[in-house]
Structure 1
Amino acid sequence: MKNKNYEYDVALSFAGENRAYVEEVANSLRIRGIKVFYDLFEETNLWGKNLYEYLSEIYQNRARYTVLFISGFYNQKLWTNHERVSMQARAFQESREYILPARFDDTEIPGILKTVGYINLKDRSPDEFAGLIEKKLKKDQTFLKSKWSKISTLINPKPFIFTIKVINEKEESIKNAKVVLVANNSTYLEGFSDEKGLAHFIIRTRKLYTVLIAHPEYPAVLFKDINPKEDIEVTIEKLKGSGSVILNKSGETPGIMGRIKPVLKSNNKISLYADNIAIEGGQHQPYDIELNKSIILEDNGGNSIHLTFRFFQGRIALIDYCKHKLS
């Protein structure tokens, strides 16, 4: 058998009546870092495809193993039998076990001999069964080599370009929007959208990011757990009299004179210092603030704004500001 990197470590074939159990297995496998083909995880990929051809390809060529959940319901379904035929075509070509039977009951399935080893699911929890699948995979040397290759790629990935397009509700490009990508470890990347509304980033580490977008004429935008593997488009709807800003350590907010500086205290509360600016009518500083809760700031010229912190991590703050109170 040739060494091959499969798209999926395991594909799950089952009848809809057994979905509750199988879904727990699928979730447990995903938590364990196993690439699993489970239909509800693939709704976007399946949308609009010729399912007959696409599923044949999955079960015949793109999974390292297939777990076949045997039950009386399975035998009655058109699609499950189509999947079974694809699996058996693959099994016939390879000199190793590929179909891994798991039984809810003693139903006979065409082409699956009673002498083939199987797992009895009676009194076995979905998480326990997922653990057995993981052990089976770890005995497969090609699986282990694939995992090591993936780990090496994560350690030393090839840099790539991630692009965010920022437009308004009229589908017009928004220029000079500040865009910041913040990783879980509080490291960040900064950029601005160009005349086409595009902000480009060179990604050198495989991480999930929180995406922050701010512009003097538009409210703040925040998206969590963004995978930079695919470019995204963001639409911002203008809100009269509102704008937003991203601060790094400290900075100024349009409409009011002076600098503000948010800090994270030892109890994980956020406090705000303001230079020559009154907070909430002159409250003692540093003033404790809450995310998504508006506060009033006033400078020495009598200018006042409502400020709402939408995000704060490390030294990066995303802030909405407005002359009237923000929700």
Structure 2
Amino acid sequence: MKNNSYEYDVALSFAGENRAYVEEVANSLRIKGIKVFYDLFEEANLWGKNLYEHLSEIYQSKARYTVMFISGFYNQKLWTNHERVSMQARAFQESREYILPARFDDTEIPGILKTVGYIDLKDKTPEELATLIQKKVTKDQTFFRKKWSKLSTMVSAKPFIFSLKVSDEKGVNIKNANVVLVADNSTYLEGITDEKGLAHFIIRTRKVYTVLISHPEYPAVLFKEVNPKEDIAVTVEKNNSSGSAIINKSGQIPAISGKLEPLLKQTKGFELYADNIAIEGGKQQPYEFELNKSISLEDNGGNVIHLTFRFFQGRIALVDYSKHKPL
């Protein structure tokens, strides 16, 4: 953000099912002289535009604040999730509050902590909320005009959004796949695919990543040296006998009880601790393992799986597992 002026004082992000309430707020704000982005006020301007790009720009750079109207409906919409990712990219960039949550209910929204202050709409009329927004905008405008020039010199390059889509060989979107981007310095970003098979990441530093993808019903996927400047689509072929998982420091595998903790050896190689799990029939722990070489695990219920580490860097591991020993 290089300029200290905004096209809008506030942008409103909401689900269509909550439009009646939000429209009253928008109309009240306009009467109060607040520059507000509300889609129905912008019909002529939005006509013919690439809405994906245009709305991303509005929620990321053209409004001083965004009011997020949180509800169960909001969490289910593709467009509101796109708006949310754009807002959070902006919020990461600035050392101040930018997203102003207003709750119709207690729905959890990714990236919105429960400790963030919010307005409970059960106790607020649209007019009362509009008055609160007006106070927020007018109170902070003078302060940020004075401070913005110093703040802008502290802000890093503008974040951008990287999206990855996961589907199977039949074109069916894969929901709840775990996706992790691991940089060369072992820092990482985590995401989960939504009902559209999409995982979104806010990229703040330009690095090349290793992309890890796992799902209990699909084999592990690994891509190296991925440049996040362009979105990518990944096709995964299903294998009925195997699944995959990503272990961050320590974790569990769905097919077996107990906890696994892989570690880098102080010298060279890898070793594994397994809590309440026998490794290779009861070998001494920590057990030394190799990438792409299967090991057997058995829990206290007699369940046996064959585990193969496909990737391990820092504290992030990508594994395949199956009840059948790989050929």
* TM-score normalized by the length of structure 1: 0.52
Partner of 2:250: 250
CA distance in 2, matches of 1:213, 1:326: 20
What displacement does 1:156 show? 3.3
Provide, for residues 291-323 of structure 1, a one-character-per-residue CA deviation record: whole Å limited to 9, x for no partner.
Answer: 000000001111000000000001100010000
What displacement does 1:240 show? 1.3
Do the aligned residues in 2 keep the contact of 1:167 with 1:173 (CA within 8 Å)?
yes
CA distance in 2, matches of 1:178, 1:172: 16
What displacement does 1:266 show? 1.2
Provide, for residues 232-283 of structure 1, a one-character-per-residue CA deviation record: whole Å limited to 9, x for no partner.
Answer: 0000000112100001100111111100100001123110000111000110
Partner of 2:189: 189
What displacement does 1:219 show? 0.3
Taking the TM superposition and a 5 Å limit, the aligned residue runs for 1:195-234 are: 195-234=195-234
Partner of 2:52: none
CA distance in 2, matches of 1:157, 1:266: 37
CA distance in 2, matches of 1:271, 1:305: 18
Partner of 2:96: none
Q: Which amino acid aligns with 1:183?
A: A
CA distance in 2, matches of 1:193, 1:239: 19
1:296 equivalenced with 2:296 (yes/no): yes
Partner of 2:132: none
What SS class does the counterpart of residue 266 from structure 1 fall into?
Answer: coil
Partner of 2:180: 180
What SS class does the counterpart of residue 298 from structure 1 fall into?
Answer: strand
What displacement does 1:160 show? 0.2
Taking the TM superposition and a 5 Å limit, the aligned residue runs for 1:46-85 are: none
Partner of 1:279: 279
CA distance in 2, matches of 1:314, 1:234: 24
CA distance in 2, matches of 1:326, 1:235: 22
Provide, for residues 96-129 of structure 1, a one-character-per-residue CA deviation record: whole Å limited to 9, x for no partner.
Answer: xxxxxxxxxxxxxxxxxxxxxxxxxxxxxxxxxx
Q: Which amino acid aligns with 1:286?
A: P
Structure 2 unmatched runs, 5+: 1-154
What displacement does 1:326 show? 2.6
Do the aligned residues in 2 keep the contact of 1:157 with 1:206 (CA within 8 Å)?
no
Q: Which amino acid aligns with 1:259?
A: K
Partner of 1:260: 260
CA distance in 1, matches of 2:266, 2:258: 26
CA distance in 2, matches of 1:233, 1:177: 13
What displacement does 1:158 show? 1.4
CA distance in 2, matches of 1:259, 1:189: 23
CA distance in 1, matches of 2:233, 2:295: 31
Q: Which amino acid aligns with 2:308?
A: T
CA distance in 2, matches of 1:164, 1:242: 23
Q: Which amino acid aligns with 1:189?
A: L
What SS class does the counterpart of residue 302 from structure 2 fall into?
Answer: coil
How many residues are treated as equivalent by the alignment?
173
Percentage identity across aligned positions? 72
* TM-score normalized by the length of structure 2: 0.52
Do the aligned residues in 2 keep the contact of 1:258 with 1:276 (CA within 8 Å)?
yes
Do the aligned residues in 2 keep the contact of 1:159 with 1:203 (CA within 8 Å)?
yes
Provide, for residues 131-187 of structure 1, a one-character-per-residue CA deviation record: whole Å limited to 9, x for no partner.
Answer: xxxxxxxxxxxxxxxxxxxxxxxx932100000000000011000000000000000
What SS class does the counterpart of residue 195 from structure 1 fall into?
Answer: coil
